[in-house]
Amino acid sequence: MTGVQNTGGRRAARSDDDTRWPFLLGVRHHGPGSARAVRAALDAARPRAVLVEGPPEADALIPLAADPDMRPPVALLAHAVDEPGRSMFWPMAEFSPEWVALRWALDHDVPARFIDLPATHTLAWQGEEDVGARREPQETAERAGAEGEPAEPGTRARADGLRADPLATLAEIAGHDDAERWWEDVVEHRGAGVGDPFAPFAALDEAMGALREAEDGAGENSRDLVREAYMRLQVRAAQKEFGDDGVAVVCGAWHVPALRRRTAVAADRALLKGLAKVRADLTWVPWTHRRLARAGGYGAGIDSPGWYAHLFGAPDRPVERWLTKVAVLLREEDRIVSSAHVIEAVRLAETLAALRGRPLPGLAETTDAVRAVLCEGSDVPLALVRDRLVVGDVLGEVPAGAPSVPLQRDLDRLQRRLRLKPEAAERELELDLRGETDAERDRLLHRLRLLGVAWGEPAVSRSGTGTFRETWRLRWEPELSVRVAEAGVWGTTVRAAATSKAEADAVAARGLAEVTALAERCLLAGLADALPTVMRILADRAALDTDVGRLAQALPALVRSLRYGDVRGTDTGALAEVAAGLAERIFVGLPPACAALDADAADEMRRHVDAVHGAVGLLEETAADATGGAAGEGASTEGGRHGRGLRGRWREVLRVLAGRERVPGVVRGRAVRLLLDDGQLDHEEAARLMGLALSPGTPPAGAAAWIEGFVGGGAGGGLLLVHDERLLALVDGWLTRVPAEAFTDVLPLLRRTFSAYDAGVRRTLGELVRRGPGERAGAERAGPVPRGYADGLDTERADAVLPVVRLLLGLDDGRGSGGDGDSEPVRAGTTGPWEAGT
Amino acid sequence: MSVSVDPLFPEPAQQQSAQPLRPHAEHAFATELTALAAQDDRPRPARWKLSPWAVATYLLGGTLPDGTVITPKYVGPRRIVEVAVTTLATDRALLLLGVPGTAKTWVSEHLAAAVSGDSTLLVQGTAGTPEEAIRYGWNYAQLLANGPSRAALVPSPVMRAMTEGRTVRVEELTRIPADVQDSLITILSEKTLPVPELGEEVQAVRGFNLVATANDRDRGVNELSSALRRRFNTVVLPLPESVEAEVGIVARRVDQIGRSLDLPAAPDGVDEIRRVVTVFRELRDGITSDGRTKVKSPSGTLSTAEAISVVTGGLALAAHFGDGVLRAGDVAAGILGAVVRDPAADRVVWQEYLEAVVRERHGWTDFYRACREVSG
């Protein structure tokens, strides 16, 4: 063991009297077996002080553990005050030995202290190793204390595992894959724990000593030595204060031999000189069973916290109770599980345990029994059992009196007022924004998201659409407490913090689209104070940005925000101004930007044109609504003028685009279509433009692109053609006029346009074309029409039929005695059932 | 009298073994079973030949303290065998589920052999299995002559197992018509078989066990009623997880079968076996082993049993018509037969697989050529 004097070797013979104290209870973190053993040992020993492995700054927080509102699993959170992002946890579940020790001390009025290295140092280490981790990507570090000097990966990994969970290593050596099983089998079920509560710890002490000697050199690392030195000093100090025979220490089993070793005080102090410091703040935060694996403080993880909690809490018959819980869960999921199933499962579990040579059934045996009996061999329900019961969704609670950043307190207040409890299980929340409470809840969730506390995710609502409804998916993860603590630098209330963060984000935003997205979020979160800043920055950015595409991308988001503003009742005058300004810039910039684009860019520009068109429409609506509501008639107010003016100017732009040659065909066609839809163009004009675009002089690709712009865009264009005969006539007319050679060139592009339509739409189009006569104004027939299929009557053919008709009707021999109602001679030119040709 | 020997068809060797083609498990592995019985000092349930631990060791393999090596019969997760044996020890019926070719029948046979020393009590389930196969039949001559009596009763294997305290196996339980299946319910829950015609009943003695197998991927299965389902502990036998495991299984079984068919052992056959197993796994999983290309799966199951038969066929081909070394051409026809079950769809799948994967693979050119030849 390098670096530390090894006086008084471990193997020296000791008498029971003087070396029982201080009691070193080496435990497995989060092990219920260890927890029970600790409780029994403390009851028997009755120390005058209890020392626990943990950050000493948390000593002031210990009394809170006795608070009735404190419900594990909870964790001690230490975070660096000046550096958000650096934090560490020491989680404790109700079956953690540390928690049991603290509660015992509080219940028996015995002082309890934490004796691990202070968080200021360990947080500083974490910062160093983060830097190191960035340099060496293969370091799979867990925070604080689990780092080794660069030895070869094999030994280092093994040493890491050993240090983190030495009992698991012992269990592995003994042939068990689960450390808790091994502890149960070895200590609890064999009845050794019943007799002498200290025997298991003494045995563990020796075993750990042997292990540490065996791993000599390969696993040592400097940080552990420092921590152990600190712990030794603390134990010494406590012994001085409470007497040599009054101190019990609960720490990880790995450290027990180090604490028992006698070393010189000076040597220990020397190790502690010159450690880096960082200002740290500590508090209790709620934790979940799921995160017990991600400790951060210890590095030990457990896979089945729900099972351990059950083992710890069950008064008797753990197996029967567990299987009953499983049966209840499966019944809730509509599987048929009867009591007979449970009986058989218990029998199977116990016999399996006997077969495997274990004194009592453990998690593996019960899982196998559940699979074979309750789940009928299938692994699918078993996964559910594992998720809900073996891991579990328990979220701890921390009393209101715990120290926390003001932001956390504000958040707690809001949560209580709005009756929105944080829960570990995921759930969906539907909010109706017309209600006051729901609207506030929505705002709170949006503000939290702005601050980086992603408690809720907006979800697509299943039932009902409409701007009044918002659906959220909520899930409280324990890390969110850290985020809240970090966000505390922004302000003391949620609203203030969100406002300053939004402003800071706006200043730091890189692109125009970011700022508009931020504006949208500000509106969603109801941060009216942040809006002026964001708007100013938006206006500045828009003024400086020369890329029409980006501007066009930003506009729809802005207009959406305007609409939200109306729905949520915020004042959006400034926003409307900015939107109008942005729209103006786009109008000016669009025609030059459309010149000389290649096919991909042209497609994108077409999309922009569509987006802007939609946005302008909404803008005018919104402006009209706003002014209409405000000023009654709203005839000549700014907003109204804005709105109408905007649309008029947009139409001008479209006209320009439609007429300019250098603009790619797709965009031109789209512009013509939009004008046609708006009623600004009549069909003759559209036909003329189409004719121009599709005249033989233009290259076929350009013509097909024009068509694509005109009627393309998926179902919308197709339906338009179906319902508007005149447009169909236009297209049909052009198509039939195309000469044969050009047709083959044009065909692939046309096919692309028309293949985007639905099959139903295509069929309808085909039938319409086949049916032929409708109002085909302006269409010419190509080629001669087969006789009898023209529009008007073909009198020659009609005359030819007359004799036969007379014969049929019996008019010739004058026998028509009223049997047929058609006694009038059929004359050509009257309409009747035999119109020529149809 | 001299015996003329026809020179064209000489007498076969006198050593023609009268051994059956496939001896029962309790005969084939008699040495292992006796060694286990001798060394087994753990408690045995009534009428069991071995203790549960010994049965598990027999199935999973191991080494006894005196050095006897027990070959593994089932290669797979340990817990499956443990749950199966424990089920039998707790007097529950065992239901083995799985896709065809995952050794359900194999495991049930060996379980019966190890537990009761007798795997011949077998009810083969088909769509036409009558109730007599499960309960009892009548000796009609006796019946007509002397009226109903115990002597006129023809016991089914189930009834014999109940009276003698042995293990009975029911194969393809889901194929049996539902009304016949349900006659098992009383047998399994009350362990009695009422004989209403005689006004008597047959009660099972300790040591009676029932092992059923069922196929969960088939047409024309009769689902078990929930009452019957409840009487069973279900164990699902999975397909082998890794290529290595599957290759090991195939190699071992091919070896065993080859010996019983007097096929000479093929040296260096492991590479071909690995190739066959890889092809089967990729087609089964729908993705190549390096996880880069998706392939379509054919309609068949391509289980381990089929891989074994393909390789055995290939070995036979190599031994009798080739040079004794297992090559790509020997297995190609077998693979084609195993993969292409539905001539329309599977053929396309096979062609795609051949062109997209086999052709590109390094070192598989001989295989590709052989497959092309066979596919025509």
Q: How far is CA A245 from the centre of its chain?
A: 54
pLDDT of residue A188: 59
Identify the three-state secondary structure at position A584. helix
Grade residue A351 by pLDDT with cuts at 50, 70 and 90.
very high
Residues B366 and B247 in one domain: yes
pLDDT at residue B280 is higher than 90: yes
CA-nearest of B239, B235, B246 to B277 is B246
Query: Distance (Å, rounded) from C-alpha A117 to C-alpha A107?
Result: 26
* A444 within 8 A of A420, measured Cβ to Cβ: yes
- Do residue B83 and residue A348 have CB atoms under 8 angstroms apart? yes
If one counts every other C-beta atom within 10 angstroms of the C-beta of residue A391, the result is 20
Beta partners for residue A23, in sequence order: A248
In this structure, of A451-460, A550-559, A828-837, the range with the lowest mean pLDDT score is: A828-837
In a domain, B23, yes or no: no
* A468 within 8 A of A434, measured Cβ to Cβ: yes
Burial of A316 (0-12, 13-18, 19+ CB in 10 A): exposed
Grade residue A770 by pLDDT with cuts at 50, 70 and 90.
confident
Grade residue A827 by pLDDT with cuts at 50, 70 and 90.
low
Mutation for testing the B interface, residue in A355, A378, A380 having most B CBs under 10 Å:
A355
* A318 within 8 A of A101, measured Cβ to Cβ: no
Query: Distance (Å, rounded) from C-alpha A255 to C-alpha A209?
Result: 9
Grade residue B4 by pLDDT with cuts at 50, 70 and 90.
low
What single letter denotes the amino acid at residue B48? W
Contact A345/B at CB under 8 A: no
* A181 within 8 A of A361, measured Cβ to Cβ: no
If one counts every other C-beta atom within 10 angstroms of the C-beta of residue B309, the result is 18
In a domain, B17, yes or no: no
pLDDT at residue A385 is higher than 50: yes
- Do residue A368 and residue B83 have CB atoms under 8 angstroms apart? yes
Q: How far is CA A621 from the centre of its chain?
A: 34
Query: Distance (Å, rounded) from C-alpha A742 to C-alpha B92?
Result: 81
Average pLDDT, chain A: 77
Residues B230 and B296 in one domain: no
CA-nearest of B354, B264, B350 to B312 is B264
Pair type for strands A23-27 and A247-252: parallel
pLDDT of residue A19: 54
Omega prior to A286 cis, within 30 of 0: no
Residues B218 and B203 in one domain: yes
- Do residue A355 and residue B236 have CB atoms under 8 angstroms apart? no
Burial of A775 (0-12, 13-18, 19+ CB in 10 A): exposed
From chain B, pick out residues whose CB is under 8 angstroms from the CB of A373.
233-234
In a domain, B60, yes or no: no
The length of chain B is 376
From chain B, pick out residues whose CB is under 8 angstroms from the CB of A344.
90, 92, 233
CA distances from A519 to A403, A522, B291 (A): 34, 5, 44
In a domain, B62, yes or no: no
pLDDT of residue A838: 43
Q: What is the DSSP letter of B241?
A: S
- Do residue A377 and residue B90 have CB atoms under 8 angstroms apart? no
More confident position, B366 or A425: B366
Minimal Cβ distance to A372: which of B53, B226, B233: B233
More confident position, A631 or A349: A349
- Do residue A348 and residue B52 have CB atoms under 8 angstroms apart? no
Contact A485/B at CB under 8 A: no
Residues B158 and B175 in one domain: yes
Burial of A735 (0-12, 13-18, 19+ CB in 10 A): middle
Residues B197 and B262 in one domain: no
Burial of A533 (0-12, 13-18, 19+ CB in 10 A): middle
- Do residue B235 and residue A356 have CB atoms under 8 angstroms apart? no
pLDDT at residue B36 is higher than 90: yes
Helix axes A740-755, A700-711, angle to 10 degrees: 30
Omega prior to A22 cis, within 30 of 0: yes
In a domain, B30, yes or no: no
* A29 within 8 A of A98, measured Cβ to Cβ: yes
pLDDT tens digits, residue range A716-744?
Answer: 677 777 777 777 777 777 777 777 777 78
Identify the three-state secondary structure at position B93. strand
Identify the three-state secondary structure at position B144. helix
- Do residue A355 and residue B85 have CB atoms under 8 angstroms apart? yes
Burial of A368 (0-12, 13-18, 19+ CB in 10 A): buried
Residues B205 and B253 in one domain: no
Question: How far is A349 from chain B, CA to nearest CA, in Å?
Answer: 9
DSSP A587-606: HHHHHHHTSS--HHHHHHHH
Q: Which two tokens stand for residue B144?
A: 């007509």
pLDDT of residue B48: 93
Query: Distance (Å, rounded) from C-alpha A730 to C-alpha A690?
Result: 8
- Do residue B236 and residue A377 have CB atoms under 8 angstroms apart? yes
pLDDT of residue B31: 92
- Do residue B230 and residue A352 have CB atoms under 8 angstroms apart? no
In a domain, B54, yes or no: no
pLDDT of residue A636: 41
DSSP A761-776: HHHHHHHHHHH--S--
**What's phi and psi for B189, nearest 5 deg?**
-90, -40
- Do residue A340 and residue B230 have CB atoms under 8 angstroms apart? yes
A148, HSE (Cβ side, Cα atoms, 13 Å):
22
- Do residue A348 and residue B230 have CB atoms under 8 angstroms apart? no
More confident position, B167 or A15: B167
pLDDT of residue A106: 92
Residues B268 and B223 in one domain: no
Identify the three-state secondary structure at position B273. helix
pLDDT of residue A678: 84
First to last CA, chain B: 56
The domain boundary, picked from B184, B202, B236, lies at B236
In this structure, of A40-44, A569-573, B128-132, B346-350, the range with the lowest mean pLDDT score is: A569-573
Question: How far is A369 from chain B, CA to nearest CA, in Å?
Answer: 8
pLDDT tens digits, residue range B40-88?
Answer: 889 999 999 999 999 999 999 999 988 889 999 998 899 999 999 999 9
pLDDT tens digits, residue range A788-821?
Answer: 666 677 788 888 888 899 999 988 665 444 444 4
Residues B154 and B226 in one domain: yes
pLDDT at residue B171 is higher than 90: yes
pLDDT of residue A130: 65
pLDDT at residue A633 is higher than 70: no
- Report the chain B residue with the minimal C-alpha distance to residue A379: B236
pLDDT tens digits, residue range B188-209?
Answer: 989 999 999 999 999 999 999 9
pLDDT tens digits, residue range A556-576?
Answer: 877 877 776 665 565 667 777
The domain boundary, picked from B220, B236, B252, lies at B236
Q: Which range is most confident: A54-63, A140-149, A454-463?
A: A54-63
pLDDT at residue A344 is higher than 90: yes
Contact B195/A at CB under 8 A: no
Instruction: For residue B133, give the CATH number of its domain.
Output: 3.40.50.300
- Report the chain A residue with the minimal C-alpha distance to residue B79: A368
If one counts every other C-beta atom within 10 angstroms of the C-beta of residue B244, the result is 11
Q: How many contacts does A have with B, using Cβ atoms within 8 A?
A: 52
pLDDT of residue A775: 44
Question: How far is A48 from chain B, CA to nearest CA, in Å?
Answer: 49
pLDDT of residue A328: 93
pLDDT of residue B212: 95
Minimal Cβ distance to A377: which of B86, B226, B235: B235
Contacts of A224 (CB under 8 A, 6+ apart): A145, A163, A255, A258
Average pLDDT, chain B: 88
What domain count does chain B have?
2
In this structure, of A23-32, A187-196, B279-288, B355-364, the range with the lowest mean pLDDT score is: A187-196
Q: Please work out, in degrees rounded to the nearest 5, the angle formed at the alpha carbon of residue B348 by the alpha carbons of B342 and B352.
A: 140
pLDDT tens digits, residue range A426-460?
Answer: 888 888 888 888 888 988 999 999 988 889 888 87
Query: Distance (Å, rounded) from C-alpha A711 to C-alpha A721?
Result: 7
Minimal Cβ distance to B83: which of A347, A352, A376: A352
Residues B259 and B203 in one domain: no
Mutation for testing the A interface, residue in B83, B190, B216 having most A CBs under 10 Å:
B83
pLDDT tens digits, residue range A359-382?
Answer: 788 888 999 999 999 988 888 888
Question: How far is A721 from chain B, CA to nearest CA, in Å?
Answer: 41
Grade residue A146 by pLDDT with cuts at 50, 70 and 90.
very low
User: In the block, which residue shows the tokens 């338009």?
Assistant: A720
pLDDT of residue B87: 94
- Do residue A341 and residue B230 have CB atoms under 8 angstroms apart? yes
A 514-573 → B contacts, CB under 8 A: none
pLDDT of residue A316: 82
pLDDT of residue A444: 92
B 220-279 → A contacts, CB under 8 A: 226, 229-230, 233-236
Grade residue A387 by pLDDT with cuts at 50, 70 and 90.
confident
CA-CA-CA-CA dihedral for B345, B350, B352, B355, to nearest 10:
-160
Residues B204 and B140 in one domain: yes
Contact A377/B at CB under 8 A: yes
The domain boundary, picked from B174, B203, B236, lies at B236
In a domain, B36, yes or no: no
| Residue-number span of the structural domain to which B346 is assigned | 243-375
A33, HSE (Cβ side, Cα atoms, 13 Å):
23
CA-nearest of A52, A55, A25, A48 to A38 is A25
From chain A, pick out residues whose CB is under 8 angstroms from the CB of B234.
372-373, 376-377
* A22 within 8 A of A241, measured Cβ to Cβ: no
In this structure, of A134-148, A325-339, B146-160, the range with the lowest mean pLDDT score is: A134-148
The length of chain A is 838
Q: Which two tokens stand for residue A606?
A: 């077409």
Mutation for testing the B interface, residue in A338, A350, A376 having most B CBs under 10 Å:
A376
Query: Distance (Å, rounded) from C-alpha A326 to C-alpha A124?
Result: 45
Residues B232 and B93 in one domain: yes
- Do residue B85 and residue A356 have CB atoms under 8 angstroms apart? no
In this structure, of A504-513, A644-653, A685-694, B184-193, the range with the lowest mean pLDDT score is: A685-694
In a domain, B68, yes or no: no
Q: What is the DSSP letter of A74?
A: E
Q: Please work out, in degrees rounded to the nearest 5, the angle formed at the alpha carbon of residue B63 by the alpha carbons of B59 and B68.
A: 100
pLDDT of residue A629: 46
Contact A380/B at CB under 8 A: no
- Do residue A372 and residue B234 have CB atoms under 8 angstroms apart? yes
Query: Distance (Å, rounded) from C-alpha A799 to C-alpha A822?
Result: 18
What single letter denotes the amino acid at residue A299? G
pLDDT tens digits, residue range A204-236?
Answer: 888 888 888 876 655 556 788 888 889 999 988
pLDDT tens digits, residue range A12-39?
Answer: 333 344 456 778 888 877 778 788 888 8
Helices then strands, each counted (H, E), chain A: 35, 10
- What ranges in A695-834 are assigned the alpha helix state H? 700-711, 715-723, 725-737, 740-755, 759-771, 795-809
Query: Distance (Å, rounded) from C-alpha A659 to C-alpha A669?
Result: 10
pLDDT of residue B266: 65
Q: What is the DSSP letter of A57?
A: G
If one counts every other C-beta atom within 10 angstroms of the C-beta of residue A513, the result is 16
Query: Distance (Å, rounded) from C-alpha A345 to C-alpha B5?
Result: 69
pLDDT tens digits, residue range B227-275?
Answer: 898 899 999 998 888 888 898 888 888 888 877 777 776 666 788 889 9
Residues B192 and B219 in one domain: yes
CA distances from A106 to A39, A42, A67, A91, A241 (A): 13, 12, 10, 19, 19
What single letter denotes the amino acid at residue A601? A
